[in-house]
């Protein structure tokens, strides 16, 4: 079920009404049932995977907590979750990669891939539930005795298919205590959902057409067209994913839940490392806590620390998709962050919140960081490594031999977005602090809906991160 | 107690706000018939050009129809479409608004838009294609122009509806192909299995099924039939001189595949169309059986109503006479 679809417009009020009619335990039942319905709208057959993952991790958590065969149960949890990921997401990629390797070695290898359908959201919920067993194993979280709460925690529909990837420490206790309806929080939740919807259908979906047109056949586009398309994609993927996160967080608030912030105006970052503190925060902190730090983090020799960064980012790239483009994208960011750590470890990254840019140098770093991130997006968006190289070559040769041209009017959605986000950069979302009086607030909502009607994209563009 | 009702009072407030806003949008849609569609329409393919053409029809003959009006075979010496031929014959400018797979629902929306915008053609000619009243056209999701049609009269709300993908009621491809085809009392089976779309050189029984599903299913329950009646009444009430013409269908080829009884259902559908037009007092011309098979331009296995130039010329002669009479009335 898509957030921006009419089934969800019917689904949400029904679940909301049912949920608040009951006490905590029944509320969890309502949420669990609603979450399975929400997921089943895509493909009910894959519900079994979520149930299996939840069941194994619940039992593993109990066993680890009791101290019996802790390693074995952790291994079982890792096997089931990472095994599901490996089969559904990486098996075809592995077969194809092996065949490609054999072909380059001169063998005649043309194996059939299995054509496995990747279940929506598998990367998100497996990481969420995996973090639970890992935290129980490390003694950071106590295993829950309430299976209903745990199953609802794994399947919580607002963030089930595209995050934020919550930690048990933050979200699970919320399922175990009574929720109180707070009209202020719920109102802000609605506002955040509206902002997310605007980001998705006005910004992301319009820019998607610009990016798709150029990246569909990059050999037929010139340098400026590809540069504009890459910028369009940078804002498309931000608005798409941040939009989803805002809707998820706002939706959770209607049910009395508080989810973690997933994006903090990432394109105002002044270095690659800062970008990763502001972009997809729930995933980057997951990799920090469960990959980077266990590898030794930065408390090792400098070269080893750089290696740790690289491994972490390549893993993050692979998490996004089974493809060499994602591996290179992750590796590229890993290199940037590692280089920054080596060359400019003391870069000034005072919070932007509450102040304006202080110097042209800072603005320059912001622009440079954005352009570097865009180089990474070329690999992320291109269909193949060859296409990515072609795009980079065409841009680098094309923009110096011709004046800017071919900018789509759709790009005009970017400046207002930047202004709004800069203005609201110390707030959790773009509409958080707008409209002090009731008429002003109502005016804001009416304007937002009018903008949806006037500028929203009619063509259906799936959320980019659903494929991961 | 107050705490338990709090979420519901909040929910009601949100619903009230959404209702108020919807009412406001509806009011804007209703009270501003002239300005919004063109500007909003730029975000849909075809629509801006159609709106511009409709607005240019003031004082001129206007033709509304489907691809029959604008197609010509590639290998013909005379590649003028039917409307251009007619314009030459009548020595006048004719405004044509036509798109492939259009149906009566679209023409009704277009005429409503014309009347609200105060555009008054000297005469209106509406093509009535019998096939478009059957399930193969009416239920085809690729040929559903529900959004486009709504945009003519409720641009703001329709657009919001489209953005939010509030498009229920339009069958998806699977449902479409599963449509049960019934000829009279006989159930033939699901459309997809019968007609094997995509099969370019099908056996004769599949071609027969294609003819049956396109022309012989009972059209009396078609919503487009109601649209036809509504359009006839609307133009009569607005005193807009209007001619409906039932476009030729390839009866000769059809008879090679259908039994006499099956062909009887095709004839019954034509009689139904005539009855609706007669009952509403509309002026109409039935050209359904005018042309022999050689005047049609369609593959043997894919029957439709596109005409070769010989066929177009024969139609034009009939239409020219009728349009002149109509213009005389105007």
For residues B8-32, give the mean pLDDT: 86
Output the average pLDDT for chain B.
89
Task: Count CA atoms within 13 Å of residue B100 on its CB side.
Answer: 7
Which has more pLDDT, B329 or A271? Answer: A271
**pLDDT value of position B180:** 92
User: Nearest CB to A186: which of B10, B24, B164?
Assistant: B10
Give me the pLDDT at residue A343, please. 82
Contact B312, B82 (CB under 8 A): yes
Q: Is B156 on the interface with A (CB under 8 A)?
A: yes
Question: What's the average model confidence in pLDDT over A413-430?
Answer: 89
A460 and B162 in contact by Cβ < 8 A?
A: no
The yes-or-no verdict on residue A357 having pLDDT over 70 is no
The length of chain B, given as a count of residues: 330
Distance CA B290, CA B298 (A): 17
User: Active site residue: A246, A280, A320, A333, which one?
Assistant: A320
Do A5 and B165 count as a contact with CB atoms less than 8 A apart? yes
B106 alpha-carbon distance from chain centroid: 5
A4 vs B3, B17, B164: nearest CB? B164
The pLDDT of residue A151 is: 94
Domains of chain B, each with CATH number or no CATH: 41-143+171-329 (3.40.50.1110)
* pLDDT tens profile B278-288: 999 999 999 99
- DSSP string computed for B188-207: EEEHHHHH-TT-SS--HHHH
Strand B180-183 and strand B123-128: the pairing is unpaired
Ranking A99-108, A279-288, B117-126, B174-183 by mean pLDDT, the lowest is A99-108
For chain A, give the mean pLDDT.
87
User: Is A105's pLDDT higher than 80?
Assistant: no
Lowest mean pLDDT across A76-85, A114-123, A425-434, B291-300? A114-123
Please determine, for residue A465, whether its predicted confidence score (pLDDT) is greater than 70. Answer: no
pLDDT at B102 over 70: yes
Cα dist from A24 to A176, A179, A390, B181, whole Å: 8, 7, 56, 52
Is residue B255 scored above 60 in pLDDT? yes
Give the burial class of A185: count Cβ atoms within 10 A of its Cβ; 0-12 exposed, 13-18 middle, 19 or more buried: middle
Q: So what's the pLDDT on residue A92?
A: 72
Question: In what order do the strands lie in the sheet containing B242-246?
Answer: B95-98, B61-65, B123-128, B242-246, B283-286
Chain A interface includes B35 (CB < 8 A): no
Return the pLDDT at A113: 57
B93 burial class (0-12, 13-18, 19+ CB within 10 angstroms)? exposed
Nearest chain A CA: its distance from B157 CA (Å) = 7
pLDDT at B173: 82
Give the separation between CA A337 and CA A343, rounded to whole angstroms: 10
Can you tell me the mean pLDDT for A81-98?
78
Across the interface, of B8, B25, B166, the residue whose CB is closest to A6 is: B166
Q: Which residue has the higher pLDDT, A161 or A235?
A: A235
Task: Give the mean model confidence (pLDDT) for residues A89-98.
Answer: 73
Which has more pLDDT, A384 or A100? A384
| pLDDT tens-digit map of A210-252 | 999 999 989 888 889 999 999 999 999 999 999 999 999 999 9
Instruction: Identify the band that residue B46 occupies on the pLDDT scale cut at 50, 70 and 90.
Output: confident
Contact present, A120 and A349 (Cβ < 8 Å):
no
The pLDDT value recorded for residue B39 is 66
d(CA A254, CA A192): 11
pLDDT in the model for residue B33: 57
Tens digits of per-residue pLDDT, B138-183?
A: 888 877 788 788 888 788 888 888 887 766 666 678 888 999 999 9
Per-residue confidence (pLDDT) for residue A90, from 0 to 100:
74
Q: How confident is the model at residue B305 (pLDDT cuts 50, 70, 90)?
A: very high
**Cβ–Cβ under 8 Å, residues A291 and A78:** no
Distances (CA, A) of A462 to A248, B59, B168: 16, 46, 18
Residue-range domain boundaries for chain A: 6-178, 184-270+355-467
- CB-based burial, B204-232: b 16+ in 10 Å, e otherwise: eebbbbbbbbbbbbbbeebebbebbbbbb
- Pick the closest to residue A159 from A277, A280, A284 (CA basis): A280
Please report where in the chains the tokens 């849909």 appear, as a residue: B44
Residue B70: band (very low, low, confident or very high) from pLDDT cuts 50, 70, 90: very high
The CB density around residue B328, as the number of other CB atoms within 10 Å, is: 9
As a whole-number percent, the residues of chain B with pLDDT over 70 amount to 92
Cis peptide before A164 (omega within 30 of 0): yes
Q: How far is B159 from chain A (nearest CA, A)?
A: 5
Predicted pLDDT of residue A84: 85
With 80 as the cut, is the pLDDT of residue A160 above it?
yes
Helix (H, G, I), strand (E, B) or coil at A415: helix
Higher pLDDT, B59 or A463: B59
ipTM over 0.85: no
A23 touches chain B (CB under 8 A): no
State residue B32's pLDDT score.
Answer: 61
| Known active-site residue A320 | yes
Dihedral pair phi/psi, residue B305, rounded to 5°: -115, 10
- Tell me the shortest Cα–Cα distance from B257 to chain A, in angstroms: 41
Closest CA to B47 of B109, B126, B139: B109
Residues linked to residue B283 through DSSP beta bridges, in sequence order: B243
Q: How many whole angstroms separate alpha carbon A202 and alpha carbon A206?
A: 6
User: 3-class SS at B251?
Assistant: helix
pLDDT band at B203, cuts 50/70/90? very high
Contact B168 A6 (CB under 8 A): yes
Q: Which long-range contacts (CB under 8 A, 24 or more apart) does B197-202 make?
A: B199/B301, B200/B301, B201/B301, B202/B301
Mean pLDDT in residue range A387-412: 87
DSSP character at residue A116: P
Helices (H), chain B: 2-31, 36-41, 47-55, 82-90, 104-117, 135-138, 146-153, 155-163, 173-177, 191-195, 204-211, 223-237, 251-257, 260-279, 309-329
Question: Is B21 within 8 Å of A446 when comparing Cβ atoms?
Answer: yes
What is the chain B residue with the closest CA to A452? B160
Residue B128 is predicted with a pLDDT of: 97
| Mean per-residue pLDDT, B306-311 | 94
Q: How confident is the model at residue A315 (pLDDT cuts 50, 70, 90)?
A: very high
Mutate to test the interface with A, among B164, B168, B169, B172 (most CBs of A within 10 A): B164
């Amino acid at each position: 079920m898509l957030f921006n679809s009419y089934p969800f417009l019917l689904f949400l009020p029904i679940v909301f009404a049912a949920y608040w009619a009951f006490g905590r335990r029944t509320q969890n039942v309502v949420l669990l049932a609603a979450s399975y319905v929400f997921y089943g709208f895509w493909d009910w057959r894959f519900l079994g995977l979520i149930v299996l993952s939840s069941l194994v991790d619940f039992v593993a958590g109990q066993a680890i907590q009791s101290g019996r065969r802790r390693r074995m149960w952790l291994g079982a949890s890792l096997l089931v979750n990472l095994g599901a990921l490996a089969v559904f997401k990486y098996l075809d990629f592995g077969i194809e990669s092996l065949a490609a390797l054999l072909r380059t070695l001169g063998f005649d290898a043309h194996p059939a891939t299995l054509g496995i359908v990747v279940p929506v959201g598998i990367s998100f919920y497996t990481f969420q539930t995996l973090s639970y067993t890992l935290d129980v194993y490390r003694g950071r979280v106590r295993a829950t005795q309430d299976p209903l709460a745990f199953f609802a925690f794994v399947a919580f529909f607002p963030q089930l298919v595209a995050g934020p990837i919550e930690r048990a420490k933050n979200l699970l206790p919320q399922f175990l205590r009574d929720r109180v309806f707070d009209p202020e929080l719920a109102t802000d939740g609605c506002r955040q959902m509206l902002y997310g919807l605007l980001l998705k259908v006005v910004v992301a979906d319009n820019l998607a057409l610009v990016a798709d047109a150029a990246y569909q056949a990059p050999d037929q586009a010139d340098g400026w067209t590809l540069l504009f398309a890459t910028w369009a994609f940078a804002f498309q993927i931000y608005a798409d994913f941040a939009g989803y996160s805002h809707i998820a967080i706002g939706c959770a608030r209607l049910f009395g839940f508080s989810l973690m912030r997933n994006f903090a105006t990432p394109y105002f970052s002044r270095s690659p490392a800062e970008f990763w503190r502001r972009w997809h925060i729930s995933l980057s902190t997951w990799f920090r806590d469960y990959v980077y730090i266990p590898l030794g983090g930065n408390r090792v020799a400098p070269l080893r620390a750089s290696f740790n960064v690289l491994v972490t980012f390549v893993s993050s790239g692979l998490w996004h998709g089974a493809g060499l483009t994602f591996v290179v994208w992750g590796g590229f960011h890993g290199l940037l962050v590692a280089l920054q750590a080596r060359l400019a470890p003391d870069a000034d990254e005072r919070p932007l919140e509450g102040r304006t840019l202080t110097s042209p140098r800072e603005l320059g770093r912001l622009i440079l960081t954005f352009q570097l991130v865009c180089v990474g997006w070329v690999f992320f968006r291109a269909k193949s490594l060859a296409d990515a190289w072609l795009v980079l070559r065409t841009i680098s040769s094309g923009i110096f031999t011709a004046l800017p041209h071919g900018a789509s009017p759709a790009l005009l959605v970017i400046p207002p977005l930047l202004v709004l986000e800069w203005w609201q950069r110390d707030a959790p979302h773009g509409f958080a602090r707008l409209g002090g009086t009731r008429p002003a607030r109502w005016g804001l909502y009416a304007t937002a809906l009018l903008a949806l009607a006037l500028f929203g994209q009619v063509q259906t563009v799936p959320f980019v991160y659903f494929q991961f | 107690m107050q705490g338990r009702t709090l979420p519901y009072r909040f929910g009601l407030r949100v619903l009230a706000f959404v209702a108020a806003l919807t009412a406001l949008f509806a009011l804007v849609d209703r009270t501003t018939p002239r300005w919004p569609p063109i500007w909003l329409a730029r975000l849909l393919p075809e629509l801006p050009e159609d709106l511009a053409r409709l607005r240019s029809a003031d004082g001129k003959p206007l033709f509304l129809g489907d691809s029959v009006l604008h197609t010509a075979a590639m290998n013909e010496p005379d590649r003028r479409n039917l409307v251009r031929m007619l314009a030459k014959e009548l020595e006048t400018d004719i405004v044509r608004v036509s798109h492939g797979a259009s149906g009566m629902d679209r023409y009704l929306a277009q005429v409503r838009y014309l009347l609200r915008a105060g555009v008054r053609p000297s005469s209106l000619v509406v093509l009535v294609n019998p096939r478009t009243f059957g399930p193969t056209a009416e239920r085809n999701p690729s040929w559903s122009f529900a959004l486009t049609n709504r945009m003519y009269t409720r641009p703001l709300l329709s657009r919001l509806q489209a953005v939010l993908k509030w498009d229920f009621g339009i069958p998806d491809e699977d449902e479409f192909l599963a449509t049960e085809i019934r000829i009279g009392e006989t159930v033939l089976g699901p459309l997809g299995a019968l007609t094997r779309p995509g099969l370019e050189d099908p056996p004769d029984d599949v071609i027969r099924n294609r003819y049956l599903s396109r022309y012989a299913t009972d059209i009396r329950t078609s919503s487009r039939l109601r649209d036809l009646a509504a359009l006839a009444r609307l133009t009569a009430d607005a005193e807009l001189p209007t001619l409906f013409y039932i476009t030729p269908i390839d009866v000769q080829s059809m008879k090679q595949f259908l039994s006499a009884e099956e062909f009887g259902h095709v004839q019954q559908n034509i009689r139904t169309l005539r009855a609706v037009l007669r009952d509403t007092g509309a002026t109409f011309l039935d050209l359904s059986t005018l042309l022999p098979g050689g005047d049609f331009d369609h593959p043997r296995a894919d029957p439709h109503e596109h005409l070769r130039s010989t066929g177009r010329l024969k139609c034009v002669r009939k239409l020219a006479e009728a349009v002149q009479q109509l213009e005389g009335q105007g």
